[in-house]
Amino acid sequence: DAKTTQPPSMDCAEGRAANLPCNHSTISGNEYVYWYRQIHSQGPQYIIHGLKNNETNEMASLIITEDRKSSTLILPHATLRDTAVYYCIVRARSYSGGGADGLTFGKGTHLIIQP
């Protein structure tokens, strides 16, 4: 799986949009971008994933650049409960139909929502 680079920490004011960047310049064509978050020692929570088109769900939006070398996770109206470590993970599709290794978590971005 391709390596990702994220800023170690970010602040955002409550009610504003939080934009979390991720660089994955070595991503290959069959690799997806996944985002998870972990709120203070709880289990990681799946947020969203995408291949090349922008994606949106009830939690967030994922914007992937046209060259796919970077992406941004957008939390549209951040609340204090969004304070967490956010992980950007690049994940290959397994065309063989066989097994998959586990997710490779980096250090992520510690997002702090300020009241």
Partner 1 sequence: DSGVTQTPKHLITATGQRVTLRCSPRSGDLSVYWYQQSLDQGLQFLIQYYNGEERAKGNILERFSAQQFPDLHSELNLSSLELGDSALYFCASSVTGTGTDTQYFGPGTRLTVL
- Interface positions with partner 1 (CB under 8 A): 32, 34, 38, 41-46, 49, 87, 91-94, 97-107
CB of 84: closest distance to partner 1 in angstroms? 13
CB of 89: closest distance to partner 1 in angstroms? 10
> In this complex, which beta carbon is closest to partner 1, that of residue 66 or of residue 95?
95
Could you say which DSSP state residue 111 is in? E
**Cα separations (Å) of 113 from 24, 53, 56?**
25, 28, 21
CB of 29: closest distance to partner 1 in angstroms? 13
The number of angstroms, rounded, from the C-alpha of 18 to the middle of its chain's C-alpha atoms is: 12
